């Protein structure tokens, strides 16, 4: 009876802990859905409209110049496609327009792009017309969805305007789920500003804040529409790089390191600083617990800093 009572008590505690955690995760996910609608709706609409039209223009030019069409990315793998499948689908889940947009993107990739490889000019012209119509329909439906969006700013870092840790669990859990059901993988890049404490000590905290904002701006503009950039706290950032592999994530991290190193940072009215970053990179290995990947990225960053800083370490 003693053992049975204690087992019952343990099961009750475990069930209560699971229930609390499940409720908290559900609330966080709903909050993220609301937040993801609000990242400057007007700017997001124009950015994604430009991305889709840019893909369409590249396709039209390739056809006109008789280039190899197999080298062009599919619409689903374009900058617009990455944003749509990794962010918009989750944010607007349940909206009737989402199913229609997804169907149009799949039809472009699976049917009309294949027709463009045919030698029959009439079929190629018909395919181009269908692709243009599909792009216009996607833009119209996306405008309708975005018009219904409303604002929430609780998940953004007040200084850098990047995502904060609040929605990290939701984003990583979703990316793990996407990776589990597809052939695509994602990488985590842990980024740290080298010798940041000395910047604060020498030039003051206002200079440190300015450097943080400028580095955050470089990280944000260097990523694609489907990627995520978090400020983890202090001078540390995390990038979730979607649809990538070992070589792709390493090359991206190296380009990012070089971009920061070559851009002087304004630390005051007449003070420019040369700032470098260390980057730890790890590729998601299929494990369902995202903390494992975070720990590996942390270890890679620690190794980069121990090895002399201003470098990329892949683990």
CATH number of the domain encompassing residue 173: 3.30.70.270
**Which long-range CB contacts under 8 A does 250-253 form with residues at least 24 apart?**
250/281, 250/312, 250/314, 252/189, 252/222, 253/189, 253/279, 253/281, 253/312, 253/314
Confidence of residue 13 (pLDDT cuts 50, 70, 90): confident
The upper half-sphere exposure of residue 290, i.e. CA atoms within 13 Å in the direction of its Cβ, equals 16
Number of domains in the chain: 2
- Between residues 39 and 119, the one the model is more confident about: 119
Provide the pairing of β-strand 312-314 with 277-283: parallel
- Between residues 87 and 24, the one the model is more confident about: 87
Residue 180 lies in a domain: yes
Determine which helix (DSSP H) or strand (DSSP E) holds 213, and give its type and residue range: helix 205-222
Residue 18 lies in a domain: no
Quote the CA–CA distance of 295 and 299 in Å, as a whole number.
Answer: 6
Same domain, 185 and 275: yes
The upper half-sphere exposure of residue 258, i.e. CA atoms within 13 Å in the direction of its Cβ, equals 6
Same domain, 129 and 199: no
Structure tokens at 285: 């290995």
Give the range among 27-41, 70-84, 168-182, 235-249 with minimum mean pLDDT: 27-41
Task: Give the range of the structural domain holding residue 265, as residue numbers without chain letter.
Answer: 165-314
Length in residues, the chain:
315
Structure tokens at 19: 């229930």
User: Do 248 and 189 touch, CB atoms closer than 8 A?
Assistant: no
Same domain, 128 and 190: no
- Between residues 286 and 237, the one the model is more confident about: 237
Is 90 exceeded by the pLDDT of residue 306? yes
What pLDDT is stored for residue 219 in this prediction? 95
Residue 7 lies in a domain: no
Q: How many CB atoms lie within 10 A of CB 106?
A: 13
- Between residues 215 and 33, the one the model is more confident about: 215
Residue 25 lies in a domain: no
Return all residues near 28 (Cβ < 8 A) that are at least 6 apart. 166, 167, 169, 170
What pLDDT is stored for residue 34 in this prediction? 47
Same domain, 103 and 224: no
Q: 88, 113, 147 — which closes off a domain?
A: 147
Same domain, 171 and 292: yes
Quote the CA–CA distance of 305 and 179 in Å, as a whole number.
Answer: 30
Residue 183 lies in a domain: yes
Same domain, 60 and 190: no
pLDDT in tens, 21-70: 655 565 455 555 545 544 556 677 888 889 999 999 999 888 888 888 78
Same domain, 260 and 233: yes
Confidence of residue 150 (pLDDT cuts 50, 70, 90): very low
Virtual CA dihedral for 186, 217, 171, 301, nearest 10 degrees? 60
Give the range among 65-69, 147-151, 170-174 with minimum mean pLDDT: 147-151
What pLDDT is stored for residue 149 in this prediction? 56
Query: Which of 91-100, 104-113, 261-270 has the largest mean confidence?
Result: 104-113
User: Do 229 and 237 touch, CB atoms closer than 8 A?
Assistant: yes
Return all residues near 115 (Cβ < 8 A) that are at least 6 apart. 123, 124, 126, 127
Residue 220 lies in a domain: yes
Return all residues near 104 (Cβ < 8 A) that are at least 6 apart. 134, 137, 138
Same domain, 86 and 200: no
Going through the chain in order, the beta strands assigned E by DSSP cover 185-193, 228-233, 236-244, 265-268, 271-273, 277-283, 312-314
Residue 81 lies in a domain: yes
Residue 275 lies in a domain: yes
Same domain, 306 and 183: yes
User: Do 280 and 302 touch, CB atoms closer than 8 A?
Assistant: yes
What pLDDT is stored for residue 154 in this prediction? 53
Looking at residue 142, which CATH number applies to its domain? 1.20.120
- pTM of the prediction? 0.71
What pLDDT is stored for residue 40 in this prediction? 59
Query: Which of 13-17, 176-180, 206-210, 278-282 has the largest mean confidence?
Result: 278-282
Same domain, 185 and 94: no
């Amino acid at each position: 009876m003693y053992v049975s009572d204690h087992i019952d008590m343990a099961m009750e505690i475990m069930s209560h802990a699971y229930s609390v955690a499940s409720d908290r995760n559900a609330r966080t996910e709903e909050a993220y859905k609301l937040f993801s609608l609000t990242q400057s709706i007007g700017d997001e609409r124009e950015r994604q409209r430009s991305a889709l039209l840019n893909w369409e223009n590249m396709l039209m030019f390739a056809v006109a110049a008789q280039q190899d069409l197999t080298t062009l990315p599919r619409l689903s793998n374009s900058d617009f496609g990455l944003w749509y499948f990794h962010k918009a689908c989750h944010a607007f889940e349940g909206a009737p327009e989402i199913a229609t947009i997804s169907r149009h993107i799949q039809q472009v990739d699976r049917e009309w792009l294949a027709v463009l490889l045919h030698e029959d000019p009439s079929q190629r012209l018909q395919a181009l017309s269908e692709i243009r119509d599909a792009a216009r329909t996607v833009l119209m439906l996306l405008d309708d969805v975005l018009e219904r969006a409303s604002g929430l700013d609780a998940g953004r870092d007040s200084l850098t305007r990047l995502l904060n840790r609040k929605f990290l669990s939701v984003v990583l859990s979703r990316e793990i789920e996407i990776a589990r059901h597809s052939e695509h993988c994602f990488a985590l890049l842990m980024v740290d500003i080298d010798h940041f404490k000395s910047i604060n000590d020498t030039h003051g905290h206002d200079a440190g804040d300015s450097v943080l904002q400028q580095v955050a701006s470089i990280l944000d503009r260097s990523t694609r529409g489907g990627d995520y950039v978090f400020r983890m706290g202090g001078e540390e950032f995390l990038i979730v790089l979607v649809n990538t592999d070992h070589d792709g994530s390493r090359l991206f991290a190296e380009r990012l390191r070089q971009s920061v190193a070559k851009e002087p940072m304004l630390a005051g009215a007449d003070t420019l600083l040369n700032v470098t970053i260390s980057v730890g990179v790890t590729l998601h290995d299929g494990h369902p617990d995202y903390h494992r990947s975070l720990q590996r990225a942390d270890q890679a960053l620690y190794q980069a800093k121990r090895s002399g800083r201003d470098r990329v370490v892949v683990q």
